Amino acid sequence: MNVVTVNASKKYDVFIGTDLIDNLGDKIVPFMSGKKVMVVSDDNVFPLYGERAVSSLKNAGYNVTTFVFPSGEENKNIKTYSEIVEAMCEAGLTRKDLVIGIGGGVVTDIAGFAAATFQRGIGLIMVPTSLLAAVDASVGGKNGIDLANGKNQVGTFYQPSAVFCDIETMWTLPEEEYVNGCAEIIKYAMIVKDGLFELVRDKEVKDQYEEIITRCIAIKRDFVEADEFDTGKRMMLNFGHTIGHAVEACSNYSIPHGRAVAIGMAAITKAAVVNGYCTEDTRMQLDELLEQYNLLEDLKFPAEELMDKVKVDKKNSAGMLRIVIPKDIGVCTIKEIYKEECLKWIVLGGAR
């Protein structure tokens, strides 16, 4: 088992290995003084792993309640959040107790937000079961819910007490969930020059889960420790996300997050070549890697429609927008532009 320690406002460990879900009851002992646990999951994940986790928790002597909601980004909303915190109240949870989010990015986002806001903060354990959640959503303290007009418009920064990444859950991922996670891994490979790009190019991610997940979490750890509240350096992690979030919204979330980010990375890199920030060779290397993982797609929405979604992006500030631009493989820069200028980047990225 590998362990990555995150020294944020709350210090915690991320455990990457096997047999973590079946031993969850014993694993959480150091992180709570109470006896009540609420497991939050969705109806895709809970039948696979929730019952195993609940069994382990009950065998360890905990009083366990569950909240299972319909899967999908469209359910990461105020209604579901309200139902979760009401259930926490009805279960009698206190600040000595724990919320455990078991699932993908939607689950970890909303479970984290519920934990952060219930009684102004209750203990939180993340158990990511998708590759995307393992390398991104479950680590770093960002959580939240979507509004009708934008993704993650309501949320907090709230670090978990621990993260348990059981790589056995990765072995049965549907292909689309697998490639979703690979998109975020490729993002890391584009922003940090440490050999990750070559690692995922030369050998399939699925053949080296523990190594790749550990590497990605360590990269994210470094950005979180340098800029926990996302005001500067941590924004580098948004490579591909400005256009990617717009793609998600324009598709009514039928295009999942990872694939949308891949579309955003390809588009912003194409525009960066035209604007002289990087070479055609850099673009070709990225496109080839995206194609290797079945992630290479063009922008298929009108530029103006995408721009309408960008305008409500939470990264906007006083009419300005920070975008992440590639300069080379493993080297990116953050550029502040006027929101209106973003339309030009979207058009140069291939939008019709």
Span 148-200, pLDDT tens digits = 888 889 999 999 999 999 999 999 899 999 999 999 999 999 999 999 999 99
- pLDDT tens digit sequence for 20-65: 999 999 999 999 889 999 999 999 999 999 999 999 999 999 999 9
CB under 8 Å to 202, separation ≥6 — which residues?
A: none
In this predicted structure, the answer to whether residue 320 has a pLDDT above a threshold of 90 is no
- pLDDT, residue 316, reads 67
- Which ranges constitute the DSSP H helices of the chain? 24-27, 51-59, 78-90, 105-117, 131-132, 175-191, 196-202, 209-226, 241-250, 257-274, 280-292, 303-310, 339-348
Give mean pLDDT, residues 113-138.
96
At residue 42, what is the residue type? D
Instruction: Name the average pLDDT for the chain.
Output: 95
- pLDDT, residue 37, reads 97
Residue 255, token pair as written in the block = 């295009």
pLDDT band at residue 314 under the 50/70/90 scheme: low
At residue 97, what is the residue type? D
* Structural domains of the chain in order of their starting residue, each with its CATH number: 2-170 (3.40.50.1970), 175-348 (1.20.1090.10)
d(C-alpha 323, C-alpha 272), whole Å = 11
pLDDT band at residue 319 under the 50/70/90 scheme: confident
CB under 8 Å to 179, separation ≥6 — which residues?
A: 258, 259, 293, 294, 295
